[in-house]
Amino acid sequence: MKKTLGILILTLLSVPAYSAIRNSEIRDLEKEIIKKEWPACLTPNNYYDQVYCASKVYGVVDDVLNDQYKNTVKFLSKEQSKSLKTVQIKWIRNRDDKCAKIIDGSVVLDLSCSTKLTVESIYYLKQIERNPNDFNLLLNEYERGE
Protein backbone atom coordinates (compact mmCIF):
# COMPACT_ATOMS: atom_id res chain seq x y z
CA MET A 1 0.00 0.00 0.00
CA LYS A 2 2.79 2.43 0.93
CA LYS A 3 4.62 1.62 -2.30
CA THR A 4 1.49 2.33 -4.38
CA LEU A 5 0.91 5.57 -2.50
CA GLY A 6 4.54 6.58 -3.06
CA ILE A 7 4.27 5.93 -6.79
CA LEU A 8 1.02 7.90 -6.95
CA ILE A 9 2.60 10.87 -5.16
CA LEU A 10 5.65 10.81 -7.46
CA THR A 11 3.37 10.67 -10.49
CA LEU A 12 1.31 13.63 -9.28
CA LEU A 13 4.44 15.65 -8.55
CA SER A 14 5.95 14.93 -11.96
CA VAL A 15 2.92 16.19 -13.94
CA PRO A 16 3.46 19.89 -13.12
CA ALA A 17 7.19 19.54 -13.83
CA TYR A 18 6.49 17.92 -17.21
CA SER A 19 3.95 20.62 -18.01
CA ALA A 20 6.42 23.39 -17.14
CA ILE A 21 9.11 21.79 -19.32
CA ARG A 22 6.69 21.40 -22.22
CA ASN A 23 5.52 25.01 -21.90
CA SER A 24 9.12 26.19 -21.86
CA GLU A 25 9.86 24.17 -25.00
CA ILE A 26 6.79 25.66 -26.70
CA ARG A 27 7.89 29.21 -25.83
CA ASP A 28 11.38 28.43 -27.15
CA LEU A 29 9.89 27.04 -30.36
CA GLU A 30 7.84 30.21 -30.86
CA LYS A 31 10.93 32.39 -30.32
CA GLU A 32 12.92 30.23 -32.74
CA ILE A 33 10.28 30.64 -35.46
CA ILE A 34 10.00 34.40 -34.91
CA LYS A 35 13.78 34.86 -34.81
CA LYS A 36 14.13 33.03 -38.11
CA GLU A 37 11.29 34.73 -39.99
CA TRP A 38 10.64 38.12 -38.31
CA PRO A 39 13.51 38.87 -35.89
CA ALA A 40 12.38 42.49 -35.39
CA CYS A 41 9.16 41.11 -33.92
CA LEU A 42 10.95 39.55 -30.95
CA THR A 43 10.87 43.00 -29.31
CA PRO A 44 8.32 45.31 -30.94
CA ASN A 45 8.92 48.98 -30.08
CA ASN A 46 5.36 50.32 -29.86
CA TYR A 47 1.68 49.43 -30.22
CA TYR A 48 1.78 49.76 -34.00
CA ASP A 49 4.70 47.33 -34.15
CA GLN A 50 2.87 44.96 -31.80
CA VAL A 51 -0.20 44.86 -34.05
CA TYR A 52 1.92 44.56 -37.21
CA CYS A 53 4.07 41.81 -35.69
CA ALA A 54 1.10 39.89 -34.28
CA SER A 55 -0.33 39.61 -37.78
CA LYS A 56 2.98 38.69 -39.42
CA VAL A 57 3.95 36.19 -36.75
CA TYR A 58 0.59 34.43 -36.87
CA GLY A 59 0.89 34.12 -40.66
CA VAL A 60 4.36 32.62 -40.29
CA VAL A 61 3.43 30.11 -37.59
CA ASP A 62 0.36 29.07 -39.59
CA ASP A 63 2.61 28.37 -42.59
CA VAL A 64 5.04 26.45 -40.37
CA LEU A 65 2.12 24.42 -38.99
CA ASN A 66 0.95 23.48 -42.48
CA ASP A 67 4.48 22.45 -43.50
CA GLN A 68 5.01 20.49 -40.29
CA TYR A 69 1.68 18.68 -40.70
CA LYS A 70 2.61 17.62 -44.25
CA ASN A 71 6.00 16.45 -43.04
CA THR A 72 4.64 14.55 -40.03
CA VAL A 73 2.03 12.56 -41.96
CA LYS A 74 4.79 11.22 -44.22
CA PHE A 75 6.02 9.16 -41.26
CA LEU A 76 2.62 7.81 -40.19
CA SER A 77 0.59 4.78 -41.15
CA LYS A 78 -2.76 5.33 -42.85
CA GLU A 79 -4.56 4.65 -39.59
CA GLN A 80 -2.35 7.09 -37.68
CA SER A 81 -2.79 9.74 -40.39
CA LYS A 82 -6.55 9.36 -40.12
CA SER A 83 -6.42 9.68 -36.32
CA LEU A 84 -4.19 12.75 -36.57
CA LYS A 85 -6.51 14.37 -39.11
CA THR A 86 -9.47 13.85 -36.76
CA VAL A 87 -7.57 15.48 -33.90
CA GLN A 88 -6.40 18.29 -36.17
CA ILE A 89 -10.00 19.10 -37.18
CA LYS A 90 -11.01 19.18 -33.49
CA TRP A 91 -7.98 21.36 -32.78
CA ILE A 92 -9.03 23.88 -35.46
CA ARG A 93 -12.52 24.10 -33.95
CA ASN A 94 -11.06 24.49 -30.47
CA ARG A 95 -8.66 27.22 -31.62
CA ASP A 96 -11.48 29.09 -33.32
CA ASP A 97 -13.73 28.77 -30.25
CA LYS A 98 -11.00 30.01 -27.91
CA CYS A 99 -9.46 32.73 -30.07
CA ALA A 100 -12.23 34.22 -32.23
CA LYS A 101 -15.47 35.94 -31.32
CA ILE A 102 -18.20 37.79 -33.17
CA ILE A 103 -18.95 41.14 -31.55
CA ASP A 104 -21.59 43.41 -33.09
CA GLY A 105 -21.34 41.53 -36.37
CA SER A 106 -17.54 41.81 -36.57
CA VAL A 107 -15.09 38.96 -36.14
CA VAL A 108 -12.53 39.67 -33.45
CA LEU A 109 -9.48 37.43 -33.61
CA ASP A 110 -7.06 37.27 -30.69
CA LEU A 111 -3.83 36.78 -32.62
CA SER A 112 -1.74 36.06 -29.53
CA CYS A 113 -4.16 33.25 -28.61
CA SER A 114 -4.15 31.90 -32.18
CA THR A 115 -0.36 32.07 -32.34
CA LYS A 116 0.07 30.34 -28.98
CA LEU A 117 -2.25 27.46 -29.90
CA THR A 118 -0.71 27.14 -33.36
CA VAL A 119 2.79 26.87 -31.89
CA GLU A 120 1.49 24.23 -29.46
CA SER A 121 0.17 22.31 -32.45
CA ILE A 122 3.56 22.55 -34.20
CA TYR A 123 5.19 21.29 -31.01
CA TYR A 124 2.98 18.19 -30.87
CA LEU A 125 3.46 17.43 -34.56
CA LYS A 126 7.24 17.63 -34.08
CA GLN A 127 7.01 15.37 -31.03
CA ILE A 128 4.94 12.82 -32.96
CA GLU A 129 7.51 12.84 -35.76
CA ARG A 130 10.46 12.49 -33.35
CA ASN A 131 8.82 9.88 -31.11
CA PRO A 132 6.76 7.58 -33.33
CA ASN A 133 6.51 4.91 -30.62
CA ASP A 134 4.66 7.41 -28.42
CA PHE A 135 2.11 8.31 -31.10
CA ASN A 136 -0.99 7.41 -29.08
CA LEU A 137 0.21 9.13 -25.91
CA LEU A 138 1.19 12.30 -27.79
CA LEU A 139 -2.02 12.31 -29.82
CA ASN A 140 -4.07 12.05 -26.61
CA GLU A 141 -2.16 14.97 -25.05
CA TYR A 142 -2.56 16.96 -28.25
CA GLU A 143 -6.28 16.29 -28.37
CA ARG A 144 -6.76 17.33 -24.74
CA GLY A 145 -4.67 20.44 -25.28
CA GLU A 146 -2.35 19.66 -22.38
What pLDDT, in 10s, does the model give residues 28-84?
Answer: 999 999 999 999 999 999 999 999 999 999 999 999 999 999 999 999 999 999 999
Q: What is the pLDDT of residue 78?
A: 97
- CA dist 143 and 121 (Å) reads 10
The radius of gyration computed from the CA coordinates of the chain, to the nearest angstrom, equals: 18
Task: Tell me the pTM.
Answer: 0.83
Tell me what percent of the chain is helix, strand and coil, each rounded to the nearest 5: 85, 5, 10
